[in-house]
Amino acid sequence: MSQTAKILDGKALAETIQAEIAEKVMKFKQTHGITPCLAAILVGKDPASQIYITNKEKTCHKLGIASKLFRLPIETTTNQLMQRIGQLNIDDTVHGILVQFPLPSHIREERIITAIDPRKDVDCFHPLSVGKLLLGQPGFLPGTPQGIVYLLEELKIPLSGSHVVVVGRSNIVGKPLALLLGRREINATVTICHTGTRDLSFHTRQADILIAAAGKAGLIKGDMIKKGAVVIDVGVNRVPDPSKKRGYRLVGDVDFDVAVETAGWITQVPGGVGPMTIAMLTRNVVLAAEEKGD
């Protein structure tokens, strides 16, 4: 196999961004006497969620951002979780609130999302935050979509006029990403597809930039990619692998080993979009603190 695609290194770029954030946090502390703070809530003991939370905590500590983690039992009710959020909403030392999803099935996620003060909604899930994104108004931008755009722009990959195909329509990635890319200042032409799209490969082969965010391992094959296209793989899927100590390995939505022979640029899983998502989250926490400090 001869690799032709260049690797979009999200981890390296995230480290550069984090260095800038750490400097901004230090200056903000000096001028305002305030430490930006992220409060995270984890309900239950989902293994993947615990890893995500731990990574966010470590990043906050590295950047000088205070973090508060609330671990709640899986039996926690919707009302109990809302009460905890209410306490954090009025806590002046907390600037960002993050509830780790997915939540246990008995908790009503839509009520939890709307319970968070939009001024502390650093994940950009609240309907008011989404509305601002839709209308192009100033406000928080969702971590993963913001990270993807930042990754493309920093590497001088042109977006204006480019045809971007987004495979996936989740409220976390697909939908907000399409809205962000379609903004006038970014000016991309966006097609949204999903696993139910007829002749998916017809659409993906039209893409100058192909973003896979469907959550299905190996969905995008090499022959579904236009020669030289930019491929961003958002998917994080566990597939069995007896050779690994943990019994599985992480793969994306793109068949990487074949895609590298067709794509011009490509992200890896892990190490591509994930680090950028956490970097953008911490940027939002600092932004929230700055807005409160002013």
Catalytic site residue from 18, 24, 100, 255: 100
CA–CA distance, 121 with 129 (Å, rounded to integer):
8
18 noted as active-site residue: no
CA dihedral sign, ordered 210, 211, 213, 218 = positive
18, 120, 123, 175: the active-site residue: 123
Could you confirm whether 132 is annotated as catalytic?
no
DSSP E strands, the chain = 6-8, 37-43, 66-72, 96-99, 163-167, 189-193, 209-212, 230-233, 237-240, 248-251, 265-267
Distance CA 19, CA 63 (A): 8
Return the percent helix, strand and coil in the chain, to nearest 5: 40, 20, 40
Catalytic option among 24, 56, 175, 226: 56
Are the CB atoms for 197 and 203 separated by under 8 Å? yes
287: enclosing H helix or E strand: helix 273-293
- Specify whether 50 is catalytic: no
Partners of 43 in beta bridges? 72
- Asked if 284 and 140 touch (Cβ cutoff 8 Å), the reply is yes
263-278 in b/e form (b: 16+ CB < 10 A) is bbbbbbbebbbbbbbb
Q: Which amino acid is at 30?
A: Q
- Residue from 279, 231, 233 nearest 6 by CA: 231
| Long-range pairs of 239-244 with CB within 8 A, sequence gap ≥ 24 | none
* Residues labelled as active-site residues: 56, 100, 123
